[in-house]
Amino acid sequence: MSALDELTTYFVTTDRVTAPRALAALEAQNLPRPIELVRNVRPLAAAYGRSLACQTEFCAIIDDDVALQPGFLQKAVEELIHVRRSRPDVFILAGIHFTDRDDLIAGRGVALYHVPSLRKVGFPDVPHVARRQRAMAEAMGMSLHGSAHVVGERLRGSTEDIYKRFLWFQLRWLARLDPWYRRFPPSQTLIRAVATNDRDHWAAAMGTIDATLAGDVPTSKDELFRGPLGATVDFESATVAQCRRLVLGAMPRFVRAYLPSFLGLAAEEAARQSMKAFRKLRSG
């Protein structure tokens, strides 16, 4: 009996341009069970939540912007089974090693779960589903394991995909669901946009800025959501000049909206570092 016999795989797609290549790579994994297609389900927590009905011991959730290396799922299931023999608290194996090197790509998009454990946690409907899920699991005594195997390649996608990627990165940070050191600050994306002057980098800068202009967004990622700048753009036909003009024209509004959040989060980080130093001194 193969380890894959106890795996159900869910392919979560919003019909991005990367989906055909990602699905082809998944189909090449030689899975004994049919792939469960989760198509255009919103928001993201609801899409991932389809896996809670899984009838096998393990399930895999694969996003439509990841092209798996041949044989990855076989290795990953075997790894999760092996790890759980000595660490039964592990409820998720996350893919963390990829072959791509692209400053417009981040995130993971691949996770294998122990289904009985997953059902205890579920998928919280917040901007950063995975981070909140992990915090909830840790509170229950469960943990994450990062896979030792190379997953494959994360795919850049369209200009609109890049805008949405950076929009949600920044929304998660503003919602205090990403740590300080993992944010994509507007200054960083703006500097890259000015340096490269290409449409994709201006779209990334637009997404980062739009997250602040949009205000609070309480739900998990919704593919139809746009900020005030992105809502005015047809990314398929937009020019570099149009994207640049929108971003630079919004800077005064952005600075007024962003400064309170930045100062508040900077103060929180400074307080955390001060308490850490104080505890270290006290223990020493």
Question: Does the pLDDT of residue 180 top 60, yes or no?
Answer: no
| 221-269 confidence digits (pLDDT tens) | 888 889 999 999 999 999 999 999 999 999 888 888 877 766 666 655 5
Q: Is pLDDT at 178 greater than 60 in this prediction?
A: no
* Residue 185 pLDDT grade (very low, low, confident, very high; cuts 50, 70, 90): low
Average pLDDT over residues 33-45: 95
pLDDT (mean) for 91-114: 88
Please, which pLDDT band fits residue 16 given cuts at 50, 70 and 90? very high
Q: Looking at residue 97, what is its pLDDT?
A: 92
Q: Which pLDDT does position 181 carry in this prediction?
A: 41
Going by pLDDT thresholds of 50, 70 and 90, the confidence category of residue 164 is very high
- 259 or 46, which is more confident? 46
- In this prediction, residue 284 carries a pLDDT of 56
- Distance (Å, rounded) from C-alpha 41 to C-alpha 64? 13
pLDDT of res. 266: 60
Asked whether the predicted pLDDT for residue 176 surpasses 80, the reply is no
Question: What is the pLDDT at residue 277?
Answer: 64
- In the chain, CATH 3.90.550.10 covers 3-154
Q: Is pLDDT of 179 > 80?
A: no
Which tops the pLDDT comparison, 86 or 180?
86
The model's pTM is 0.85
Average pLDDT of span 161-165: 93
CA distances from 266 to 174, 209, 255 (A): 12, 18, 15
Is the pLDDT reported for residue 186 higher than 50? yes
The pLDDT of 173-196, averaged and rounded, is 70
Average pLDDT over residues 7-32: 96
In percent, how much of the chain has pLDDT > 90?
Answer: 64
Q: Class assignment of domain 3-154?
A: alpha beta
- pLDDT score of 53 more than 90: yes
Average pLDDT over residues 268-277: 62
Sorting pLDDT into bands at 50, 70 and 90, what band is 1? low
